[in-house]
Amino acid sequence: MSPAYRNPIGVVSLWLGFILMLLSCVKAYEKISDETLNRLSRPNNDFDIHNGALLSPILRTRVPGTPGSTAVLNHFADFFRTTLPNWTVEVQNSTAKTPVSKGKEIPFRNFIATRDPPWAPVGDVSRLTLVAHYDSKLEPEGFIGGIDSAAPCAMIMHAMRSVDAALEKKWSALEKQGLHEYLDEVQGLQVIFLDGEEAFQEWTDTDSLYGARALATHWDDQVYPAMSEFKTPLSSISLFVLLDLLGAKSPSIQSYYETTHWAYKNLGALEGRFKSLKQFKSASADRWFIDAAKDERNLKSFGGIQDDHLPFLAKGVEVLHLIDYAPFKGFPSVWHTLDDDGEHLDMDTVEDWSMLITAFVAEWMELEGYFDQPPAVGVRSDEDSDESEAIRLNKKTEL
Ligand SMILES: *[C@@H]1O[C@H](CO)[C@@H](O)[C@H](O)[C@H]1NC(C)=O
Ligand SMILES: *[C@@H]1O[C@H](CO)[C@@H](O)[C@H](O)[C@H]1NC(C)=O
Ligand SMILES: [Zn+2]
């Protein structure tokens, strides 16, 4: 018999612990309002393919271990240092031989940026993780990879930049009121730009996914301090959202996994709302999220798309794979050709994706009410807004 059963207080706390555990299994997710959707910041000229601050530096060859790869890695580092200084940045290094490296070890460098609530120990945070690969294919020579995956990297950068201030505002409000101690889950944000996704010669289990395989193994082996809520950086990923081959017109996104179909459906709902609010520039009538109306038990998506999620999926990570692919349609027509460059991106679609990802992150992190208000008629006083903030926070932390 365990001591808890001899002691009524122990039994009660056992039950309380159990109830808290059940509650913390319910994923928090809060819809944002139409006003907030309308107000989210836009990439504007930063997605210009010739001189835009976010996208243009990625539109170059960036084969692993080459100066182009280093330049793009530096671009990511500069972006976080200057625009998102409160994020923690690291580069995870590995090396491997490739079928064309003639016995030489090629370096693979994964870029990782993390933003945790300031009060939370590193092992107690689960993280919404946005992922794209930044390497480009060795062949055909001069291959740029606009949809594969320069544009997805830029979409993620824009989304993180667009939610950062709201996240800071929410966290400091929680801390100021001492409410952060009562949260049933502590969520952070994470970005991974993976290296070495592409095969050097022909796609095999060993000639592909170099960076993803190295990182999944590294994070599985790296153990957080004892008594942490999560055992490893891998188990602290609440959702691994992989963006790949995005930026062509009228994408078709399938839902691949029963357990993350609810998150997929939330993206589909946001797509519908953006379109009805006339906030999508690409404005095509075709639905992007073609499985959104399906029940999670009736997904018949063609599986088997080999991509960076696989080493993570194999270790039990929850995955949402956002890739433009459908049976009969296949991948976008520019896929793995020299035409997959900046000029062939459908820029309205690229911008719409960046807004959709921003909105999804805002809902996942429950940021409604924390985006800056536009100058309004009949401005409320500071006391008013402080008070309503306290009511909001109290409501949200009720069990
Ligand atoms: C960074 O964090 C500090 C301390 O929490 C805060 O005062 C500052 O406003 C934050 N900066 C940004 C850009 O969020
Ligand atoms: C990875 O290598 C770079 C140098 O290329 C170094 O600055 C960085 O600290 C390394 N990362 C880790 C985690 O050791
Ligand atoms: Zn590719």
Residue 299 domain-assigned? yes
For atom 3 of ligand 2, the residue with the nearest CA is: 91
SS3 sequence, 153-220? HHHHHHHHHHHHHHHHHHHHHHHHCCHHHHCCCCEEEEEEEECCCCCCCCCCCCCCCHHHHHHHHHHH
What pLDDT, on a 0 to 100 scale, did the predictor assign at position 303? 62
301 pLDDT tier (thresholds 50, 70, 90):
low
Output 362 or 327, whichever has higher pLDDT. 362
pLDDT of 66 > 90? The answer is yes
Mean pLDDT of the 250-277 span: 96
CA of 41 to the centre of ligand 1 (A): 20
Q: What is the pLDDT of residues 33-62, one digit of tens each?
A: 999 999 999 999 999 999 999 999 999 999
The DSSP bridge partners found for residue 194 are: 133
- 254 Cβ contact partners less than 8 Å away, ≥ 6 residues apart: 290, 291, 301, 302, 325, 326
The answer to whether the CB of 90 is under 6 A from ligand 2 is yes
Look at residue 255 in the predicted model and tell me its pLDDT: 95
Residue 316 and residue 291 in contact, taking contact as beta carbons nearer than 8 Å: no
- Residue 15 included in any domain: no
* Residue 251 forms part of a structural domain: yes
Which ligand 1 atom is the nearest neighbour of the CA of 165? 14
Query: Helix axis angle, 151-176 relative to 382-397, nearest 10°?
Result: 100
Residue 23 domain-assigned (yes or no): no
Which pLDDT tens digit goes with each residue over 208-240? 999 999 999 999 999 999 999 999 999 999 999
Question: By the 8 A CB rule, do 303 and 321 touch?
Answer: no
Cα(189)–Cα(129) distance, integer angstroms: 6
- 128 or 390, which is more confident: 128
What is the per-residue pLDDT for 104? 98
Q: Is residue 354 part of a domain?
A: yes
Indicate whether residue 118 lines ligand 1 (CB < 6 A).
yes
Active-site residue, from 46, 197, 324, 340: 197
Total domains present in the chain? 1
168 lines ligand 1 (CB under 6 A): yes
Residue nearest to atom 10 of ligand 1 (CA): 86
CATH of the domain at 299: 3.40.630.10
Residues 167, 154: Cα–Cα separation, whole Å: 20
Q: Of 46, 124, 207, 244, which one is the catalytic site residue? A: 244
Residue 14 falls inside a structural domain = no
Ligand 1 geometric centre to CA of 122 (Å)? 18
Q: Looking at residue 183, what is its pLDDT?
A: 81
Q: Is residue 367 in some structural domain?
A: yes
Q: Is the pLDDT of residue 22 over 50?
A: no
User: What percent of the chain clears pLDDT 90, i.e. is strictly above it?
Assistant: 80
Atom of ligand 2 nearest to the CA of 93: 1
Query: Is the Cβ atom of 30 under 6 angstroms away from ligand 2?
Result: no
Contact of 323 with 242, CB cutoff 8 Å: yes
Task: Determine, yes or no, domain membership for 2.
Answer: no
Is 116 designated active site? no
- 135 an active-site residue? no
The finding on whether 7 has its CB within 6 A of some atom of ligand 2 is no
Is pLDDT above 70 for 328? yes
Contact between 336 and 148 (Cβ < 8 Å) = yes
Region of residue 173 (phi > 0: left; psi between -120 and 50: alpha; otherwise: beta): alpha
Q: What is the DSSP letter of 50?
A: T
Its domain, for residue 320, covers 28-397
